[in-house]
Amino acid sequence: MIPSLQNAVILVDENDREIGTMEKIEAHRSGALHRAFSVFLFNASGEMLIHRRSAQKYHCAGEWSNACCSHPLPGVDIADCVSSRLRYEMGIEANLFKAFEFKYRAELDNGLIEHEYDHIYTGRYDGIPDPNPAEADAWRYVSAPALRSEMAETPDAFTPWFRMLFEKVVHHHAATDRSFQQF
């Protein structure tokens, strides 16, 4: 069965070469490696924008995570998907830059598996988000030291990919943007 494009993920090999598509929930049930993207935004003070995933989400509901994350649509440029999804989820327009790629696998508490070849984007945003309530029910800006402390005290309050990516993103951001010395 061919999945509809809105519910499909792009299956990839270990080198991010496309090998097909699969219905999104099936990919998360089977643990199939698929393409994803994650957006990390920082304000002028160097604080990271995070959001709490809506209780309506089918996995990691109520957990804190990066500004936006999703899956690119088959046949659509990933950068276009990233910008469009950031607008949809958080009501944000921002200049985004590809930072790096990251492959991970995480077993979730509801029997689903995140196995993603994740394209990481970063950018600057100083405004007030207007989140889609189906995606996020809270947001905040927070410093890296405060996030480190919070994640050490309550790691399960954060999505698995966010916990895995946090330090790598912070180090990348500090290395590429000299104005953020607090990291």
Name the β-bridge partners of 22.
9
Which is the catalytic residue, given 60, 68, 69, 114?
Answer: 69
Element at 140 (helix H, strand E)? strand 136-142
Grouping H, G, I as helix, E, B as strand and the rest as coil, residue 180 is coil
> Are residues 121 and 96 in contact, defined by beta-carbon separation less than 8 angstroms?
yes
81 assigned to active site: no
81-111 burial code (b ≥16 CB/10 A, e <16): bbbebbeebbebebebeebeebeeebeeeee
Nearest to 145 by CA among 57, 33, 48, 61: 48
Q: Residue 75, by phi and psi: left (phi above 0), alpha (psi -120 to 50) or beta?
A: left
Q: CA quadruple 72, 63, 95, 133: dihedral positive or negative?
A: positive
177 contact partners, CB below 8 Å, separation of at least 6: 42
150 assigned to active site: no
Residues classed as catalytic:
69, 116
